[in-house]
A and B are shown apart, each in its own frame.
Chain A
Amino acid sequence: MSSTAATATIDTAAPAAQSPSRLAWRRLRRDRAALVSAGFLIALVLAVFAGAPLLGKLVGHGPNDLFPYAVGISLKPVGPWSTVPDTSLVPGIDEKTFTQTPPPAGTGTTLLVLGADGPLGRDELQRLLYGGRVSLTVAVGATLLALLIGTTLGTLAAFFGGWVDSVVSRFTDLVMAFPVLLLAIVLGSTVSGKVSEVTLGGALNKGVLSLILLIGLFTWFYPARIARSLILSLRRREFVEAAEMIGASDAKIMRTHLFPHVIPALAVWATLAVATNIMLEAGITFLGFGIKLPTTSWGSMLAATWGTVLSPLPYNASSFSPWLTIIPSAAIFFTVLSLTLLGEGLREAFDPRGVR
């Protein structure tokens, strides 16, 4: 009787035990910037994967449909929220008034929410959504690939040391000093020709897989370094020795005793890496070595009014349409900003020195 009463008092006196992940979650819930960012990212993923086909049903056309009537006589595309004749006929030009002839009678109209995407007159919003799908797939896929390679090699290097460690570290130093963008472009232009045809049964767009491989191949050093340094610091701790003493295998120790300690740091890295990879994808595609048209991505949308490296488009004041640059720019900016804020929120939430 008395012993149970004593236990009860001790239980109430002791602070409620919290696992580190629970603690991190509680801290994250208080970080308003990170929460808003997470909300934005969820909305973005929904819009890009589910919203894009829905929008197509709603307005009745797809991202590759051409609307020549959405392009003015000076090749200036219509701006946001315009209704244009729903026809792929090219308008004739009335020579007296120098205006476009009206579309044939009975042609319906269709809504271009963010206007047309350039001289071809495609739906800018739909291209933005489908392009976002490509950009996000590349960024997330490359991050996962880098995590897989990097964590494995980093863990092995730290656990076994010796030549594995020095080879991984030296190679990492070499490539990290070099401009990854340049290497990715050199490699991408030479060997990724065959890979870019692979679509995994239509699940991916053309060129997505080769970009994932390319970016993953040049970014796995970062998770490798993170895993290596953390595991090196834990390698000789008592709990690892205890596990070794009771006969746990190396694989078991790495998996169940060491790996959980690496997860928070890797989660933070991965969030920030998706942001970096979105920028990298946009850059590679912008320069003409990534996703090929007609598949769109945010990088190719950025190049809409600029052209290509070998044939830049001339500037023409009468068809100047800055929103074609601003719309994909804003999409990249807000996505990268949300990922960065979420990543910093995660870092603070996982910080063991943080408030409880």
Chain B
Amino acid sequence: MITFGYALRRLGASVLMLLVLTLLTFALYRAIPANPAGFLVDLSPGAPHSPAAIAKAEKTLGVDRPIWEQYALYLWRLAHGDLGIAFQGTRAVPLSNQRTGQAVGPAVVHAAMVTGSVVVGGALFALLLSVPLGAVAASRPRSLTDRTILVVSLIGICTHPLVVALLLQQFPGRRWGLVPPGNYCPFFGTSQPGPFDFSTLTRAASCGGPTAWASHLILPWITFALFFLAIYTRLVRVRMIEVMDEPFIRTAAAKGASRSRVVRHHALRNALGPVLTLVGMDVGLALGIALYIESVYRLPGLGLTTLGALSGGAGYDLPMILGVVLVIGVVIVTVNFAIDLAVLWMDPRAAQAGARRSVVGRIA
């Protein structure tokens, strides 16, 4: 059983983890040579800038204080639900030390919705297909079906997600024009029209609504699902083969349960617990794959936001990166907690055995 004390300990550990993450992000920020004043003043050689202007810019950005003070201030604001204002595209408010610009909180939440659309949709595809495929393969080990499924999933594991994304974008997306080759359409409301593209003399039209949302996500979902489908089909297969050897399966068969009932009610339920735990451990991997997908299909999710915050003219956009890191941390913690609850619900023995831990290391 999950006790109140357990939940509290877990919460404490999570908060500690998030603190360490923000601390590491701050430490990195300190290590970089670029001066954040470049976000407000043009620091390129030859540009007119005075030391006074730089000092004022640093004061406006709040980077003139000692780093520990900046960190404490950040935590104080965070505790009040304020994630600050991004450095990129910020402007000083005249005659004060204030600045305006893009608020990190809403921006990060919006980006998380985009990434969430990709990851949740793709993961649903992958899980819904890998469980039956793995179960079918496991029901007759070493048969032709089993071998075919194994070989195809091996090919899936060895194919770089970028390759899948690029080929899907080039052929069904562009060459054959079957599905939109990129860009994101929000589920609610409409997107802003894209920036003017001088090479094609067009701009992406504004779009929105459930149909546009889904059609623009077809290729990202397939890309995401193919990669995890391959991994999880193998996992489900191995687990199912193990479980099918257990005495309780023989008992169920002996008391006259049909084969499909044995598989669905007795074997799958027991096989899926550890697989779910692995889903929790793969959240980080999934976000890495999402980064590839967002870049290729140009979806403004967490990954593309991070890349933008890193490769802007003046460098490291600290508030934005902290925001992304925090969101990812919170998602990882929450998903793992939810999965632990789901595993307990499916397999109460897990409470005694403690959390199963195993490592599946692939990319990202």
- Does A287 interact with chain B (Cβ within 8 Å)? yes
Q: B295: which A residues are within 8 A, CB to CB?
A: 286-287, 309
Known contacts A177-B284, A181-B288; is A222 also within 8 Å of B28 by CB?
Answer: no
In chain B, positions 22-81 with a C-beta closer than 8 Å to chain A are 25, 28-29, 31-33
Q: A179: which B residues are within 8 A, CB to CB?
A: 284-285, 287-288, 291, 328, 364
Q: Is the CB of A189 within 8 A of B160?
A: no
- Does A106 interact with chain B (Cβ within 8 Å)? no
- Does A147 interact with chain B (Cβ within 8 Å)? no
Q: Is the CB of A306 within 8 A of B296?
A: yes
Q: Is the CB of B31 within 8 A of A191?
A: yes
Contact of B364 among A181, A186, A189 (CB under 8 A): A181
- Does A10 interact with chain B (Cβ within 8 Å)? no
A174 to B200 Cα, complex, angstroms:
45
Q: For A313, give the chain B residue with the smallest CB separation.
A: B199
Q: For B165, give the chain A residue with the smallest CB separation.
A: A306
Known contacts A177-B284, A309-B295, A337-B154; is A186 also within 8 Å of B163 by CB?
Answer: no
A279 to B227 Cα, complex, angstroms:
13
Interface hub of B166, B181, B308, B315 (most chain A Cβ within 10 A): B166
Q: For B29, give the chain A residue with the smallest CB separation.
A: A190
- Does A206 interact with chain B (Cβ within 8 Å)? no
Number of interface residues of A (CB under 8 A): 48
A193 to B34 Cα, complex, angstroms:
11
Number of interface residues of B (CB under 8 A): 57
- Does A329 interact with chain B (Cβ within 8 Å)? yes
Q: A309: which B residues are within 8 A, CB to CB?
A: 295, 304, 307-308, 311
What is the 8 Å Cβ interface bit string for chain A, positions 89-123, against chain B (1 contact, 0 not)?
A: 00000000000000000000000000000000000
Known contacts A174-B20, A185-B307, A275-B158; is A180 also within 8 Å of B364 by CB?
Answer: yes
In chain B, positions 152-188 with a C-beta closer than 8 Å to chain A are 154-155, 157-160, 162-163, 166-167, 170-171, 174-175, 181
Interface hub of B29, B157, B171, B311 (most chain A Cβ within 10 A): B311
Q: B281: which A residues are within 8 A, CB to CB?
A: 176-177
Q: B162: which A residues are within 8 A, CB to CB?
A: 282-283, 286, 302
Q: Is the CB of B160 within 8 A of A177?
A: no
Contact of A340 among B21, B154, B175, B332 (CB under 8 A): B154
Q: Within the complex, what minimum Cβ distance (angstroms) separates A308 from chain B?
A: 9
Q: For B332, give the chain A residue with the smallest CB separation.
A: A177
Q: B166: which A residues are within 8 A, CB to CB?
A: 302, 305-306, 325, 329
Contact of A329 among B17, B20, B160, B359 (CB under 8 A): B160
Q: Within the complex, what minimum Cβ distance (angstroms) separates B293 from chain A?
A: 11
Q: B336: which A residues are within 8 A, CB to CB?
A: 177
- Does B323 interact with chain A (Cβ within 8 Å)? no
- A1-9, A76-84, A314-322: which one contacts chain B? A314-322
Contact of B160 among A178, A219, A222, A279 (CB under 8 A): A279
Q: Within the complex, what minimum Cβ distance (angstroms) separates A148 from chain B?
A: 17
Q: Is the CB of B363 within 8 A of A185?
A: no
Contact of A185 among B174, B306, B362 (CB under 8 A): B306
- Does B273 interact with chain A (Cβ within 8 Å)? no
Q: Within the complex, what minimum Cβ distance (angstroms) separates A268 from chain B?
A: 12
What is the 8 Å Cβ interface bit string for chain A, positions 52-89, against chain B (1 contact, 0 not)?
A: 00000000000000000000000000000000000000
A326 to B164 Cα, complex, angstroms:
10
Q: Is the CB of B167 within 8 A of A329?
A: yes
A286 to B364 Cα, complex, angstroms:
14
A181 to B284 Cα, complex, angstroms:
9
Q: Is the CB of A222 within 8 A of B364?
A: no
Known contacts A180-B284, A185-B306; is A340 also within 8 Å of B291 by CB?
Answer: no
- Does B283 interact with chain A (Cβ within 8 Å)? yes
Q: A312: which B residues are within 8 A, CB to CB?
A: 298
- Does B109 interact with chain A (Cβ within 8 Å)? no
What is the 8 Å Cβ interface bit string for chain A, positions 166-186, against chain B (1 contact, 0 not)?
A: 000000001011111110011
In chain A, positions 333-356 with a C-beta closer than 8 Å to chain B are 333, 336-337, 340
Q: Is the CB of B363 within 8 A of A182?
A: no
Contact of A333 among B159, B174, B181, B362 (CB under 8 A): B159
- Does B303 interact with chain A (Cβ within 8 Å)? yes
- Does A276 interact with chain B (Cβ within 8 Å)? yes
A20 to B361 Cα, complex, angstroms:
27
Known contacts A174-B17, A282-B162, A306-B296; is A182 also within 8 Å of B287 by CB?
Answer: yes
Known contacts A174-B20, A179-B288, A180-B284; is A333 also within 8 Å of B310 by CB?
Answer: no
- Does A207 interact with chain B (Cβ within 8 Å)? no
Q: Within the complex, what minimum Cβ distance (angstroms) separates B37 from chain A?
A: 17
- Does B197 interact with chain A (Cβ within 8 Å)? yes
Which residues does B use to contact A, with CB under 8 Å? 17, 20-21, 25, 28-29, 31-33, 154-155, 157-160, 162-163, 166-167, 170-171, 174-175, 181, 197, 199-200, 281, 283-285, 287-288, 291-292, 295-296, 298, 303-304, 306-308, 310-311, 315-316, 321, 328-329, 332, 336, 359, 361-364
- Report 29 cross-chain contacts, Cβ distance below 8 Å, ordered by A residue: A177-B283, A177-B332, A182-B288, A185-B306, A186-B25, A187-B28, A189-B316, A190-B315, A190-B316, A193-B33, A219-B361, A276-B361, A279-B363, A282-B160, A283-B288, A286-B292, A287-B307, A288-B311, A289-B310, A306-B166, A306-B296, A310-B308, A314-B199, A314-B200, A320-B174, A322-B175, A336-B158, A337-B155, A340-B154
Which residues does A use to contact B, with CB under 8 Å? 174, 176-182, 185-187, 189-191, 193, 219, 222, 225, 273, 275-276, 279-280, 282-283, 286-289, 302, 305-306, 309-310, 312, 314-315, 317, 320, 322, 325-326, 329, 332-333, 336-337, 340
- Complex A-B, nearest 10 residue pairs according to Cβ-Cβ distance, in ascending order: A181-B288, A181-B364, A329-B163, A179-B287, A337-B158, A179-B288, A190-B32, A314-B199, A179-B284, A336-B158
